[in-house]
Structure 1
Amino acid sequence: MTNIYLRRSTINDLDEIVEIIDQAKQLLKNDGSPQWQSGDPSREILKSDIEQRISWVLLVDDKVAGVATLLDQPEPSYAQISAGNWNNTTQPYMTIHRVAVSADYRGQHLSKFLFSNLMTIAMELGFHNLRIDTHLKNQRMQRIAKNLGFEYRGIVNVSDPIDPSRLAYELNL
């Protein structure tokens, strides 16, 4: 039986995380998406995520298969939303960023495990509201978000010099 679980990333995971993110950057580029094409998330950002203890890796039989960042502080780019609004503006929320699954594991629906575990962590920390954003051309992430119950809420702008516009999603547990 395959063992699939989530744990906090360590500095020893950094090279594998960078490789997974680089694979995701190439996949987005191949899809015609400008998301992650300006250099971010960089190795330095990913290392900082690990040092801040906000980076998580999904392990499949003890091999790093995916990565995500789970923030418990308000996302500054979410303060302004257009063409819609956040459903829950009174409770604190967690933001999921920098989600990627290794090319070696694509097509195995591991994003469901990754998100399910992140939701469990959020609930254990007392957060019932999760948010995520993605580019209009990132159909994969849009499909994942919708399949997991995230609702489209509007447009936010992130610090991306190529195209800052992102579709914003929210899940209230």
Structure 2
Amino acid sequence: MTHKNEIHFRKADTTDINIIWKIIQQSIERRRVDGSAQWQNGYPNLQTVESDVSKEFGYVLTVDGEVAVFVALIFNDEPAYSSIEGEWLTNGEFVVVHRVAVSEDFAGQGLAKKLFDYIEDFTKSQNVSSIKVDTNYDNLAMLKILESKGYSYCGEVFLAGGVRKAFEKVLI
């Protein structure tokens, strides 16, 4: 009996770098086609992916063993978050969600929403109760996901050369 759509969340390793970079490039193009200014200035790039993996920030969601989604999860470290125009919900430890990218092969299957469920479980497993994330004001897909997952709008941060909407979710 074969299992269909077996989904796993795991740390990315060096063998994943090429497929992750391909997925990021697809996402850069999707942002451009959607008319978003996000990711249109040479970031993220291959070096970003290599750095995420080498620093163990990179995670993937696999479907039947195939890498479908990439995310960088960083504990307590986003310098831009220290100066927010607005106010965070908490001041303690947190996980930062960066560089969410879904493969074109898996687009429209709700995997980005599923990813956030895995991120919440992972964050709780690390005894951390806050997730912080930012996105471009014109990244409507991500804004919808954050709203549907119960993230609170906290204000604006200046990151990667632009103003980003910043959100936080407190896990109980």
Provide the TM-score with structure 2 as the length reference: 0.95
Partner of 1:95 in structure 2? 96
- What SS does the aligned partner of 1:133 have? strand
- What SS does the aligned partner of 1:5 have? strand
- What SS does the aligned partner of 1:59 have? strand
Q: CA deviation at 1:159?
A: 2.4
Q: Which amino acid aligns with 1:87?
A: L
Q: CA deviation at 1:73?
A: 2.6
Aligned length: 168
Partner of 2:46 in structure 1? 43
Q: Which amino acid aligns with 1:103?
A: E
Distance 1:136 1:94 in 2: 21
Partner of 1:141 in structure 2? 142
Partner of 1:127 in structure 2? 128
Partner of 2:164 in structure 1? 166
Partner of 1:29 in structure 2? 32
Q: CA deviation at 1:45?
A: 1.1
Distance 1:130 1:51 in 2: 22
Q: Does 1:86 align with 2:71?
A: no
Partner of 1:61 in structure 2? 64
Provide the TM-score with structure 1 as the length reference: 0.94
Partner of 1:11 in structure 2? 14
Q: Does 1:150 align with 2:151?
A: yes
Q: Contact between 1:132 and 1:169, CA under 8 Å: does it hold in 2?
A: yes
Q: Which amino acid aligns with 2:128?
A: F
- The alignment-based identity, stated in percent, is 33
Q: Contact between 1:96 and 1:131, CA under 8 Å: does it hold in 2?
A: yes
Q: Contact between 1:154 and 1:167, CA under 8 Å: does it hold in 2?
A: yes
The CA RMSD measured in Å over matched residues stands at 0.9
- What SS does the aligned partner of 1:111 have? helix
Distance 1:172 1:22 in 2: 31
- For residues 47-81 of structure 1, the C-alpha deviation after alignment (integer angstroms, 9 at most, x for no partner) is 11101111001100000000000000321001111
Q: Contact between 1:74 and 1:92, CA under 8 Å: does it hold in 2?
A: no
Q: Which runs of 5+ in 1 are unaligned?
A: none
- For residues 99-138 of structure 1, the C-alpha deviation after alignment (integer angstroms, 9 at most, x for no partner) is 0110111110011221111111111111100000000110
Distance 2:141 2:82 in 1: 25
Distance 1:154 1:39 in 2: 25
Q: Contact between 1:150 and 1:171, CA under 8 Å: does it hold in 2?
A: yes
Segments of 4+ moved more than 3 angstroms? none
Distance 2:90 2:114 in 1: 25
Distance 2:62 2:14 in 1: 15
